[in-house]
Amino acid sequence: MSNLAININNGEKYNIDRKDFLTLGEFSSKEIHGLLKESIELKKMTKAGKNIPYLKGKVLGMIFEKSSTRTRVSFEVGMLQLGGNAIFLNSKDIQLGRGETIHDTAKVLSRYVDALMIRTYRHEVVEEFAKHASVPVINGLTDLHHPTQVLADLLTILEKKGKLSGLKMCYVGDGNNNMCHSLIEGAIKVGMHVSIACPKGYEPNEQIYLKAMKDANASGLLLEKSENLAEMLKDADVVITDVWTSMGNEEEASERIKVFTPYQVNEENCKLAKKDFIFMHCLPAHRGEEVSASIIDGSHSVVFDEAENRLHAQKAILKLLLS
């Protein structure tokens, strides 16, 4: 188990004791703020060309069942900049793809590498890897959660707005989505109000939503969901969306386009958000579907800063788990 001392804004030091990074819901507000501060410091060092090899000699094994651009490249580059190495493992190319159990795969890989990052479909897969692996396990994405992306999103909002607490985030689109789930968990933890505009039948996972609602109520924050896009978008500081059809749901694409078309983020409905709102998308995006080209390519969009911040946020996670 790693024990990383981090300075937070008031100069206080505290320790984060974690073996794995599976969901943001498992981290406290204080821990998430600490990771964000560490991300900022590592980013400053990278920009100044002063990377320190905190993870010299360490190896990250990366198992992919889902294809990736940002996740793969950012984790590989992050490990290199921290002085370590990363190994790409396509699930079809290792024995896991031929029926070897997760139990056995986790036990074997733990003898070779210092940590595992897994990008897969079922969240139970990363949970089982974490159960049986003796090294840290990082959730690079599942159908239920996308915590590494959302940590980068929070970093981006903090950079652009100068704060997190008190801001309103509006998520638009498929509420039963890994991005929406991790955004709910992460945003509430750092003091943001959250509204979700989604059609009926596409609401967030009930268990995740109710847990986040409990946290929101305890902190005096607003967490709400509605089919009414206008109500949810009103006075939003941050507008976020995602593709309407995620990997694994391709056969539903035509039906989803019909359902979600009224929820496109465009110039007209964004007039309801604050004048200085920022637009975010985890990418890849389908211009003309979930977002208009004028928004994603316009002055409010921060999607490429957001994409870059995957690198810096993940370096903080890697340093937490491996240094």
User: How many angstroms separate the Cα of 231 from the Cα of each of 170, 197, 272, 288, 314?
Assistant: 10, 8, 9, 23, 34
Which region, left, alpha or beta, applies to residue 25 given φ > 0 means left and ψ of -120 to 50 means alpha?
Answer: alpha
Global confidence as pTM: 0.93
Start-to-end CA distance of the chain, whole Å, equals: 10
**Cis peptide bond upstream of 53, omega within 30:** no
Residues 74 and 43 sit within 8 Å (Cβ to Cβ): no
Alpha helices in 162-228 (DSSP H): 178-189, 206-219
Q: Catalytic site residues?
A: 119, 146, 149, 242, 282, 310
Q: Which two tokens stand for residue 129?
A: 């890897």
Q: Which two tokens stand for residue 42?
A: 């590592």
Among 322, 155, 173, 156, CA closest to 257:
173
pLDDT of 212? 98
Per residue of the chain (323 residues), give pLDDT as tens: 344 444 344 445 545 666 999 999 999 999 999 999 999 999 999 999 999 999 999 999 999 999 899 999 999 999 999 999 999 998 888 888 678 999 999 999 999 999 999 999 999 999 999 999 999 999 999 999 999 999 999 999 999 999 999 999 999 999 999 999 999 999 999 999 999 999 999 999 999 999 999 999 999 999 999 999 999 999 999 999 999 988 777 888 899 999 999 999 999 999 999 999 999 999 999 999 999 999 999 999 999 999 999 999 999 999 999 98
Question: Cα angle vertex 144, ends 310, 177, to 5°?
Answer: 80
39/269 Cα distance (integer angstroms): 33
User: How many angstroms separate the Cα of 68 from the Cα of each of 63, 80, 131, 284, 287?
Assistant: 11, 18, 25, 10, 19
Q: Is 50 helix (H, G, I), strand (E, B) or coil?
A: coil
Among 273, 30, 287, 31, CA closest to 169:
273
pLDDT of 94? 85
Domains and CATH numbers, the chain: 5-146+309-322 (3.40.50.1370), 149-306 (3.40.50.1370)
Q: Which residues contact 101 (CB under 8 A, 6 or more apart)?
A: none
Burial letters for 267-288: b for 16+ Cβ neighbours within 10 Å, e otherwise?
eebbebbbeebbbbbbbebeee
Residues 138 and 118 sit within 8 Å (Cβ to Cβ): yes
Residue with tokens 């949970």: 127
203/176 Cα distance (integer angstroms): 5
User: How many angstroms separate the Cα of 234 from the Cα of each of 107, 154, 169, 245?
Assistant: 50, 20, 10, 25
Q: Is 35 helix (H, G, I), strand (E, B) or coil?
A: helix
Residues 240 and 285 sit within 8 Å (Cβ to Cβ): no
